[in-house]
Structure 1
Amino acid sequence: MRFSLMTFCALTTLALLPADHAEAEQREAIFAGGCFWCMEPPYDKLEGVISTTSGYIGGETERPTYEQVSGGGTGHAEAVKVVFDDEVVDYATLLDVFWHNIDPFAEGRQFCDVGDQYRSAIFPLDQHQRRLAEASKEEVEARFERDVKTRIEASAPFWKAEEYHQNFYQKNPVRYRFYRAGCGRDDRLEAVWGDAAGTP
């Protein structure tokens, strides 16, 4: 089979592209850890994470609004979708970041935010993620010798939250810091995790 010079150049260029250009290496993960404003920063600073998106998951209502979800009753949880390069960071590492940024012993709430919409939950997107999520939960329970209230829920449609919620900690840093401190998030994380607690 003969190749033209143009075809040969195109194939050579594709072969030489850096690994991070390959679509197959991008994966997604979804975690609910209370206020989604506070779950974006720890992932954004993690090498290998491509993007984070705040949104809603786990309920029946299609295209829910913040007012609907925050009012309760829709079944959704505030969550963050993480797009990552699994050649740089793996799902197990994302799980580790998740646990150290939540209170795994709080049920139907996280920190000062009360209600099922602020529950902590992991939403595995395939069986591999589910196995790792279940194993990580067992590890946390064994470490603390306590029942973990964080749920491992079935995959469900993820609805992107309103634009003003995206990267809120960057758009409104003063309000974000005030909320985070007032909610007692960091104090509780330190009480649970000590020096390994997640950071703002």
Structure 2
Amino acid sequence: MSKTPTVVLVASCAFLVLSFVLVGVGFADVDEIDVESEALFKGTTGTVQVEEFGTYSIFVNDDYSCEETTVSITDEDYEYFNEECDEVFDETGWRAIGIMSSDADGVLNVQANHEIIIVDDMIYLSEGGFAVLGGGALCCISLIGIIIGVILMSRKKPTTIMMVQHPGQLQNFQQMPFNPSVQPETPPEQEGQEPVWNFPKNP
């Protein structure tokens, strides 16, 4: 039986375990991020430098609720702040209250009635997000490999029929004389010819 199904199954299981490790390490690294030290802006009034196609998360001191906080981030023409209060994204000492994305490099004006911080979301990718994404992709590939391995192993081995002939039978067959039956050709009777009858003569 081919060893290919076993190799595929074992390798896929090993990669699956590795994917779990990568995801776990990634989430652990993300959880250890100190958003306050990584903040691009901290305070109530000022400016923040942003990059084109950048995405940012805004947090308020957790002494205040989302409803109690008012934030405005503008370039004097457009409001970039989008309120999204989700406790899933809360960090130690800070409450997630919104996000924003920028469409060009530049400086934006910040106004808030409570102390806030603005964090570049790329910090999450660089500190563990790539490990989480890579582990997730590897997990999907591993599951596909496991399915393929199981399918290959479940296939029935083709049945081989062996015909064994006794040596004596082969020898006896070889010693038998070959007597082809030869049938003499009988010439066809000529059309219109009468048969000749030969009767025995009396003495």
TM-score bracket for the superposition, by shorter chain length: under 0.3
TM-score normalised per structure 1: 0.25
Larger RCO: Structure 1 or Structure 2 (Cα < 8 Å, ≥ 6 residues apart)? 2
TM-score normalised per structure 2: 0.25
